[in-house]
Amino acid sequence: MLDDFIVRALLAGMGVAIVGGPLGCFIVWRRMAYFGDSLAHAGLLGIALGLTLQIGVNVGILAVCVALALVLAMLERQRRLATDTLLGILSHASLSIGLVTISLLATVRVDVMAYLFGDILAVVPADLWWIYGGGAVVLAALAYLWRPLLAMTVHADLAQAEGINVAAVRLAFMLLIALVIAIAMKIVGVALITSLLIIPAATARRFSRTPEQMAIGASLLGCIAVGAGMLGSLTWDTPSGPSIVVAATLLFAIALAAGEVADRTRRPR
């Protein structure tokens, strides 16, 4: 019989994995892997702001993530600096400002490591409401944006010439990522959320012939990684979040190897 805290950890991890599947596919397709990292780093500034202004950590993280998405969307209009350069600047700037601010808060002690790696075993029922409620909102919005988002991922100018409001859809997509990271960061940690966005999506590519297959496959693979990681964590008494990331990485490696073998058997020399 599983303990309650383990069930909650599994539910939390799988909730993030389910939302992370389709969202992560778009992050991989649009080459925005660094965006999730940047938002997660910026989240630290959000924690500092939330504590300083006493508006709550969740609100602080959400506010900073949304602000970062808006600033990035604005900066992308100039074409001299590429997006990854801008993200590098924003990411490290907000991380550093966050750390400096936290150090200036003499009265409050913040465990930065807890936010970077999270503690999925400490999930409380209210956290599950956040994950599944917020997750449902994000998935519904993503379903609504699916077709235009896919069209502009393939070719932004072509999509715009065919009547899609590319700037609006792009901003909406960034806000969705910001929302997911803001919800999941405090609960499962930065490292886990960005891993659950990217690694299962990359793994699912091998088995997919359509974008939808890849999105659903990524969600499933994410759930498997959460289950396997938790099992490993309990068996060998390893930290849960990193164990889940290791499990996801193993799945990726297996898919890669299996794909290589399949390619060789299909084309015998």
Q: Which residues bind other proteins (CB under 8 A)?
A: 28-29, 31, 147, 150-151, 153-155, 157-164, 202, 205, 208-211, 213-214
Q: Which of 74, 6, 20 is nearest to 202 (CA)?
A: 20
- Cα–Cα dist 68/207, whole Å: 34
d(CA 149, CA 159): 9
Minimal CA–CA distance to 184: which of 3, 52, 26, 62? 62
Residue 30 exposed, middle or buried by CB count within 10 Å (0-12, 13-18, 19+): middle
Q: Which is nearer to other proteins, 4 or 263 (CB)?
A: 263
As measured in angstroms, the least distance from the Cβ of 149 to other proteins is 10
> How far apart (Å, rounded) are the C-alpha atoms in residues 202 and 106?
43
Residues sharing a CB contact under 8 Å with residue 124, sequence separation 6 or more, in sequence order: 8
**Shortest Cβ distance from residue 252 to other proteins (Å)?**
13
Closer to other proteins by Cβ: residue 114 or 168:
168
Q: How far is the CB of 31 from other proteins (least distance, A)?
A: 8
Minimum distance of other proteins from residue 194's CB (angstroms): 17
* Shortest separation between residue 12's beta carbon and other proteins, angstroms: 28
d(CA 80, CA 226): 41
Question: Of 109 and 209, which CB lies nearer to other proteins in the complex structure?
Answer: 209
Residue closer to other proteins by CB (options 31, 92) is 31
**Is 159 or 230 the residue whose CB approaches other proteins more closely?**
159
User: Dihedral through CA 178, CA 181, CA 184, CA 188, nearest 10?
Assistant: -170
Residue number, 150 or 171, with CB nearest to other proteins:
150
- What secondary structure letter does DSSP report for 237? T
**Number of helical (H) and strand (E) elements in the chain, helices listed first:** 11, 0
CB-nearer residue toward other proteins: 3 or 162:
162
In whole angstroms, the minimum distance from the beta carbon of 72 to other proteins comes to 21
Sorted by sequence, the CB contacts under 8 Å of residue 71 that are 6+ apart come out as: 90
Closest contact distance (angstroms) between CB of 212 and other proteins is 9
